[in-house]
Amino acid sequence: MFTLLWIVALLIGVLALAYVNASGLAWSAAIALALAAAAVWHLLPTGLTLVLGVAFVLLAIPLLIPPLRRALISDPIFSAFRKVMPPMSQTEREAIEAGTVWWDGELFSGKPAWRKLLDVPAPTLTADEQRFMDNDVQQLCEMITEWETTNVFRDLSPAVWQFIKDRGFLGMSIAKAYGGLGFSAYAHSQVMTKLSTHSGTVSVTVMVPNSLGPAELLAHYGTEAQKRHYLPRLAKGLEIPCFALTNPNAGSDAASIPDYGIVCWSEHEGQRTLGLRVTWDKRYITLGPVSTLLGLAFRAHDPDHLVGDKEEIGITCALIPTMHPGVEIGRRHMPLSAVFQNGPTWGNNVFIPMEWIIGGQPMLGRGWRMLMESLAAGRGISLPSSGTGMAKLAVRATGGYARVRQQFKTAIGKFEGIEEALTRMGGNLYMMDATRTLTATAIDLGEKPAVVSGIAKLHITERGRQVVNDAMDIVGGKGICLGPSNFIGAAYMQVPVAITVEGANILTRSLIVFGQGAIRCHPYVLKEISATRETDKAKASETFDTALFGHVRFAVSNLARTLVTGLTGSHFVGVPANVAIETRRYYQQLTRFSAALAFLADVSMGSLGGALKRKEKLSARLGDVLSLMYLCSATLKRFEDDGRQQADAPLMHWAIWDAMFKAQTALEGVISNFPNRIIAAMMRRIVFPLGRPYFVPSDQLGHEVAKLLIEPSATRDRLTAGMFIARSGDGPVLAIERALAATMVSEPIEAKIKMAAKDGRLDTKLPPGAGLETLVARAEAAGVIDSAEGAAVLAARDLTAKVIRVDDFAQDLGASEMRLATGNAQPAVTATVVHKAAA
């Protein structure tokens, strides 16, 4: 009996030590104490106790003495590790090492420090930033319509282009010292979100100069002379920048661009100058057709060793005026009928002086790292903002439409099928906006969160696509008939652009999120890899030894944490004090999933090794778990930052339940498809010892979410905060707002009429040809409603008719009218000439 108790106590002790990631000394002391107890109370046969004691001493001594441990254990493993580790190219290494690890590292730790996240201050706008939002951004939106931009000008109008330049939209990210607005990442995100709720063309036009491009690269890597010359001109719109990376033969695999530059001497402005002769062929270059300053990525070669010993220098970034001889700007692409400027550029054997390299000659060959470190602006701010903006437009307008549009004498938003789509739209938007805000906040904190930015870009644009698709399904025929009164058609067509650029979503999900995250976010893997590149043998041995045994303790700890939290339902996991009561379980379950992710990641890397790189489906699912935990973290942070608004709670609950169910499904997907079925069975018993805890969000919860979208409320306003709504005119969104307000007034009046008819006080059977006016007149005559109420019912009917109306055109679809409106001009070509002349 005592022996059994000893064994149970030993197992509990082992789990406890592993759970807390105890040190080697603590493990040794605990095992010694257990063996001493067994010897004193004769709990085991004497011979067995002696054998165990000797074995313990023989193992403990080398494990506790680092030099001996390295000689007997670490160094042989290190030697084998070096041989089996797959080769890593320079560009792969730079991509992995670029940027910083932030909250993603906590999520990979197995025990996230939630207080660290909750203590991050909620972002706010400065007075200048708020004024810009209220005045300049609002005015810009009022100057344009997406329909006119797309179908009349086929570009932004000249007046809009000038307004953008004059008001500093192209220099939001440029410091005030160089003439820019010096806005925070959060302000940048807010501006892009609002613009995206109204016009994709203006949003992209403003987005590109403020994200990955010449200004961003100059700010971080340019010489002071380059900054002084170019940044003020970029900020004022005197230069229109673009950045050319994609080659026809190197799209997603951008690191393999074949464009090249040869270091040489040549004549430039009458003087013999050291530089490069560059040949390139690029496409999909946004703002390229109107650009005056071309940012260019190419591979630099130095066959004559004019600048050093290396012939293959590497990817390099340069700034080239587009008026420079040899620079060719092609005709425009038309990305899904969007009319933001986009097109190809090429050049053959074009000489550029060395001073045109961003950062000068010392930055030759460092272009890929520059791009990877600067990618956070594009992935972390611009694209998440545009996706969120489109979703806000879709949610607010579609929710209002679903209330005013009736079928079968019922608002379509009250049918469960429509509710299901509305629920997804509301829950997804709540999580998207939370993720957008948190990611921008991280950048403002000085982080360059490479993995987090990839997660934000991938999941916000994907959810944005689902939101817009759901909106199109709800509005039906209204959505597929393009015209000035269509609020969703342009977004529906343009959503794939955000999916594709800055790393296609399939690539990001399959290769980047976990492939980069497993190395960067894991506390030991990068250290182990770095040790293989260390030339100092003694230092390499010490580094690998420390990382290896830290890694072993980390893996064992997460195995224990995964099992224990699974057996206990994570009910005993500590959570920060003072978090909302209704969210405590989410923190506990996310901590459980964090341990499970770290455990599965270590098992996958340990058992599959380099083959995991080719198991893209497994890698994608592991990345999904990390991504969904980040999205849940952002959602919990938003709920706290918003003051725990109880009216918003259904949105928060649905978003987290949906994401946690998907994360659970991803974990199951890893286990079910793991190549080694014995290991898979072991993983399932550890990760889900009592079954899977999450199921899809309930229909009742979905009903509560959908209801929030189809009636005016503070929650609806918070959910779509920051979107553009015109203050006057007859735009489609404002028309829906007016109709919704009128419908909310009309509905109880109509209910009185129906009740009177049911009670026999009112005859609602109308003669052929009679309409609502006749029924209202009868209700007024019968004293069921008064004249003001009758007028309200008719007003709601008229305003709703404007909303459900669709556009129609002449037989030539309005082409002749558009030519007449523009005086047979060629606005897009004219704009190009204007921009070139400005240089």
Q: What is the dihedral of CA 522, 527, 528, 533, to 10 degrees?
A: 140
Task: Please list, in sequence order, all residues whose beta carbon lies within 8 angstroms of the beta carbon of residue 229, skipping any fewer than 6 positions away.
Answer: none
Read off the amino acid at residue 153: F
> Tokens for 166?
């004059």
Report the interhelical angle of 649-672 vs 616-641 (nearest 10°): 160
Task: Report the alpha-carbon distance of residue 199 to residue 690 in Å, rounded.
Answer: 50
| CB 314 within 8 Å of CB 342 | no
Q: How big is the chain by its Cα radius of gyration, in Å?
A: 31
Read off the amino acid at residue 560: A
Structure letter (DSSP) for residue 255? G
Query: Which residues does the annotation mark as catalytic?
Result: 502
Helix, strand, coil percentages (3-state) for the chain, rounded to 5, are 65, 10, 25
How would you label 318-351 residue by residue, b for 16+ Cβ within 10 Å and e otherwise? Answer: bbbebeeeebebeebbebeebbbbbbbbbbeebb
Question: Other CB atoms closer than 10 Å to residue 76's CB: what's the count?
Answer: 11
Strand-strand pairing, 293-301 and 260-268: parallel
| CB 391 within 8 Å of CB 464 | yes
Dihedral sign computed on CA atoms, order 720, 724, 725, 731: negative
Task: Report the alpha-carbon distance of residue 804 to residue 401 in Å, rounded.
Answer: 8
Q: What are phi and psi of 327, to 5 degrees?
A: -80, 125
- 620 burial via Cβ count (<10 Å: 0-12, 13-18, 19+): buried
Task: Report the alpha-carbon distance of residue 296 to residue 630 in Å, rounded.
Answer: 34
Task: Report the alpha-carbon distance of residue 570 to residue 577 in Å, rounded.
Answer: 17
Q: Which of 227, 213, 349 is nearest to 281 (CA)?
A: 349
Q: Which of 342, 241, 336, 240 is nearest to 283 (CA)?
A: 342
Read off the amino acid at residue 750: E
Read off the amino acid at residue 372: M
| CB 152 within 8 Å of CB 827 | yes
Task: Report the alpha-carbon distance of residue 426 to residue 353 in Å, rounded.
Answer: 53
Task: Please list, in sequence order, all residues whose beta carbon lies within 8 angstroms of the beta carbon of residue 691, skipping any fewer than 6 positions away.
Answer: none
* Residue 544 half-sphere exposure toward CB, CA atoms < 13 A: 26
Place of tokens 């497993």: 518
Task: Report the alpha-carbon distance of residue 509 to residue 627 in Å, rounded.
Answer: 9
Task: Report the alpha-carbon distance of residue 700 to residue 423 in Å, rounded.
Answer: 11
> Tokens for 334?
């038309």
